């Protein structure tokens, strides 16, 4: 099932819905728990797709693919290294990534994103599936020059618009063997598979929830394969993940 968050011309606020071919069946309330159909179906062309959730936090895993750890000049760390992007970085399908004037080297990072369904803490690896609503596509946009200058990652990863997410949440998906790629202006920059993740999706939910409480709608980015590189004003970045779809965003300079 594909769950999207959309804005509809005649409704006051965004609503969730289930995508069925070219149609979207609207839901009452939110998708965390029992789904309640609103009895209204619209053509997808008549709605605007937004980021599929508004997370309280986006927790990211660094260096979770060996080939990317290597290109960054390091090894896979003995323990997972995690960091947080503020929720104000999140944008949806088609919205522009805005490069800030402080950076001259903004990079794309194609990532599989986990969407959490339930408030949870200390979840075991075995039970992690019970707190996952589904998976979506993310681009962990990073000001690489600032990341290297600062020696830590908060500023480099936290500019507004630096977390494109979407276009929807796929709820029926085995995350362990999915092709993942990133194209810039049609040229393939990253091409990998989630089976090369050092730590899998369920393992990361267990690890992160041993540190912090996760809330419904929270998002975990699972790391990026090799091939990260610059994006500049006028580019279009498309991240594609098998079984989910494609997330496209234009790039502009502020």
Binding site for Zn ion (CB under 5 A): 109, 140, 224
Smallest distance, Zn ion to C-beta of residue 43, A: 35
**CB-based burial of residue 174 (10 Å sphere; 0-12 exposed, 13-18 middle, 19+ buried)?**
exposed
Specify the residue, 2 or 63, whose C-beta has the smaller distance to Zn ion: 63
Q: Which residue is nearest to Zn ion (CB)?
A: 140
- Taking the CB of residue 103, how many other CB atoms lie within 10 A of it? 18
Backbone angles phi, psi at 41, to 5 degrees: -115, 135
Specify the residue, 2 or 85, whose C-beta has the smaller distance to Zn ion: 85
Smallest distance, Zn ion to C-beta of residue 219, A: 12
Smallest distance, Zn ion to C-beta of residue 61, A: 7
Specify the residue, 15 or 205, whose C-beta has the smaller distance to Zn ion: 205
Q: Are 191 and 181 in contact (CB under 8 A)?
A: yes
Q: Which two tokens stand for residue 70?
A: 């290597």
Specify the residue, 110 or 169, whose C-beta has the smaller distance to Zn ion: 110
Smallest distance, Zn ion to C-beta of residue 141, A: 9
Smallest distance, Zn ion to C-beta of residue 224, A: 5
Specify the residue, 93 or 109, whose C-beta has the smaller distance to Zn ion: 109
**CB-based burial of residue 155 (10 Å sphere; 0-12 exposed, 13-18 middle, 19+ buried)?**
middle
What is the greatest pairwise CA distance in the chain? Answer: 53
């Amino acid at each position: 099932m594909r769950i999207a968050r959309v804005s509809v011309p005649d409704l006051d606020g965004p609503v969730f819905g289930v995508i069925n071919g070219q149609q979207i069946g609207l839901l009452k309330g939110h998708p965390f728990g029992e789904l309640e159909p609103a009895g209204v179906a619209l053509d997808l062309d008549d709605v605007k797709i937004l980021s599929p959730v508004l997370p309280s936090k986006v927790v990211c895993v660094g260096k979770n693919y060996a080939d990317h750890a290597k290109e960054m000049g390091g090894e896979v760390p003995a323990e997972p290294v995690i960091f947080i992007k503020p929720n104000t970085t999140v944008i949806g399908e088609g919205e522009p990534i805005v490069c800030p004037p402080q950076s001259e080297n903004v990079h794309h990072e194609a990532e599989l994103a986990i969407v959490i369904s339930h408030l949870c803490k200390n979840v075991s690896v075995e039970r992690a599936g019970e707190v996952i609503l589904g998976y979506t596509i993310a681009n962990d946009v990073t000001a690489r020059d600032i990341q290297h200058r600062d020696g830590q990652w908060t500023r480099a990863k936290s500019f507004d618009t630096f977390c494109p997410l979407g276009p929807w949440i796929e709820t029926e998906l085995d995350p362990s063997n999915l092709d993942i790629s990133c194209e810039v202006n049609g040229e393939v920059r990253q091409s990998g598979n989630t089976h090369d993740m050092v730590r899998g999706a369920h393992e990361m939910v267990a690890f992160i929830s041993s540190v912090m409480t996760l809330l419904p709608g929270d998002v975990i980015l699972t790391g990026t394969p090799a091939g990260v590189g610059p994006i500049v004003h006028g580019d279009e970045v498309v991240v594609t993940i098998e079984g989910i779809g494609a997330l496209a965003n234009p790039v502009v300079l502020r």
